[in-house]
Amino acid sequence: MNRDLVRMAVAKARHIQPLPEQTVPVNKTGLVIGGGIGGMTAALNLADQGFNCHLVEKQEELGGNFKKFAHTRKLIDQVKKNKLVTVYTNAELNQTNGFVGNFSSVVTTGKGAKAKEITLDHGIIIIATGAREHRPETVLGNPIKYSKKIVTQSELAEQLDGKGKNRAPDSIVMIQCAGSRGDDLNYCSKTCCTTAVKNALKVKEVNPDSQVVVLYRDIRTYGYAEDLYQEARQKGVLFIPYEMDNRPVISEKGGKLSVSFFDPILQDDVSMNPNMVAMSVGMVPEETDTLSKLLKVPVTADRFFLEAHVKLRPVELPVDGVYVCGLAHSPKPVNEVIAQAQAASAKAAMPLVKGYVTVDPIVSNVDKDICIGCRLCTSLCPYQAIQMVKDENNRPKAETIVASCKACGICASHCPTFAISMGGFTNEQLNSQIAAFGRKVTEKETEAA
């Protein structure tokens, strides 16, 4: 096997030729999609480094999931004041053409009659489209009707932050991994355990006599959040693990809540009638499918954007010039979102600072003497990377736009006259590789004979 591979490579190597190196100038403007904490942090960072930046937000105002944070309000203020950042609200990306350094995007902005399309030119793209709270209709096999008594952790947090007299109920059960880790979504949302522990502590702070029970699979208060977990236990919050083959049963009858579960310490089933049940639900990415198709960047099975390399290139996407940060990449707490936004803008600033990018030399190449001008290639090219030009005899000939070409080879494989060849993958090179592979069969036959 390995010998076949090496023999084939050597056979090809005999025919490889140097390819010219090309550089393309970069438009020193950034496009950030998503105006939450991550997007705003990234946009401000680009601006602080002296680059113009378009910030596109789907909703009416900036802020994303954490509009209420004082820090978010500060960021919104800074973004609005910054002359280098142009904000588009009620805006969505419709179309993007081009390549690193020279993107051109069509954005619709405004609503109804005021809606208009604008074209933005930019050199890089940072995706910060975020995620939203997941609201599973079934939790651990129990159909759930959200109400004042059955809430999500974010709703509980809001209630606890309010001024209501009975905002911290006398008894509350929290259900961890509600809809996560194989229940409905397949993944862990990373932040729900810490949020639940924080809320449990707040309940205890407002109403120290409240009975708080947290039903969990694994408590994931990683890092320093472990201190909060310990504090919660010291303050009397009960943490009871459940197994997926013996899940808690949640029901509501005549306005009365009932939660029953197996207590592994008592080794017995326990039933409770809490005043409130809080679901620790996970998060789901915001419409990554559309953007993934528009920008030709992949998503994972869980629909988060898939980075170019998990360890070594954690904020770059496989398409050059496209970066990701925040919850669109994966669930994470706000400090990690900010660090990632700073990383994405740092990486994105690299081509902007340099002012040029080097294009991979492997591109398609049209032999104009053989081309018959049939236009088959221009119609097939998925990247609009082939244009028709006239030769000196005024005959139409195909020509590759080198910077747009992604070297997919569709044009070369469809050209009826073999006028198109791919740099580094010419017919001659590939044929010699195939011939070299076949040679083993002959050798074996000879041995057998």
Binding to another protein in span 374-393, by CB under 8 A:
none
> Can you tell me which of 296, 347, 368, 414 binds another protein, judged by CB under 8 A?
347
Q: What is the DSSP string of 134-152?
A: ---SEETTEE----SSEEE
Q: Evaluate whether 48 touches 84 at the Cβ level (below 8 Å).
A: no
Kindly state the smallest distance separating residue 311's Cβ from another protein, in Å: 5
Site for another protein in 287-346 (CB under 8 A): 300, 302, 304, 309-315, 329-330, 334-336, 338-346
Closest separation in Å from C-beta 260 to another protein = 18
From the CB of 146, what's the least distance to another protein, in Å? 25
CB of 50 to another protein, least distance (A): 4
Residues 49-68 that bind another protein (CB under 8 A): 49-50
> Does residue 23 touch another protein according to CB under 8 A?
no
Reduced to 3 states, what is the DSSP secondary structure of residue 359?
Answer: strand
Sign of the C-alpha dihedral computed for residues 87, 47, 340 and 126 taken in this order: positive
DSSP three-state, residue 176:
strand
Total residues binding another protein (CB under 8 A) = 81
| Closer of 98 and 285 to another protein (Cβ) | 285
Write down the least CB distance from residue 13 to another protein, Å.
4
Contact region with another protein (CB under 8 A), list: 9-17, 54-62, 98-106, 270-278: 9-17
322 strand-pairing partners: 125
d(CA 272, CA 265): 16
Minimum Å distance from CB 359 to another protein? 13
- Which residues, numbered 91-150, are part of the site for another protein (CB under 8 A)? none
Kindly state whether residue 398 participates in binding another protein, applying the rule CB under 8 A: no
- Say whether 330 sits in a helix, a strand or coil: coil
Given the DSSP bridges, would you call strands 142-143 and 22-25 parallel, antiparallel or unpaired?
unpaired
230 lies in the binding site for another protein (CB under 8 A): yes
List strand residue ranges (DSSP E) for 26-64, in order.
29-33, 52-56
Q: Which of residues 169-198 bind another protein (CB under 8 A)?
A: 181-182, 186-188, 190, 193
CA dist 386 and 382 (Å) reads 10
Binding segment (CB under 8 A) for another protein, from list 15-23, 149-157, 244-252, 386-394: 15-23
- Quick one: which of 71, 67, 34 has its CA closest to 53? 34
Map residue 67 onto helix, strand or coil.
coil
Give CA angle at 280 (279, 282), nearest 5°.
Answer: 125
> What are the angstrom distances between the C-alpha of 60 and each of 69, 88, 111?
18, 9, 9
Site for another protein in 24-43 (CB under 8 A): 41-42
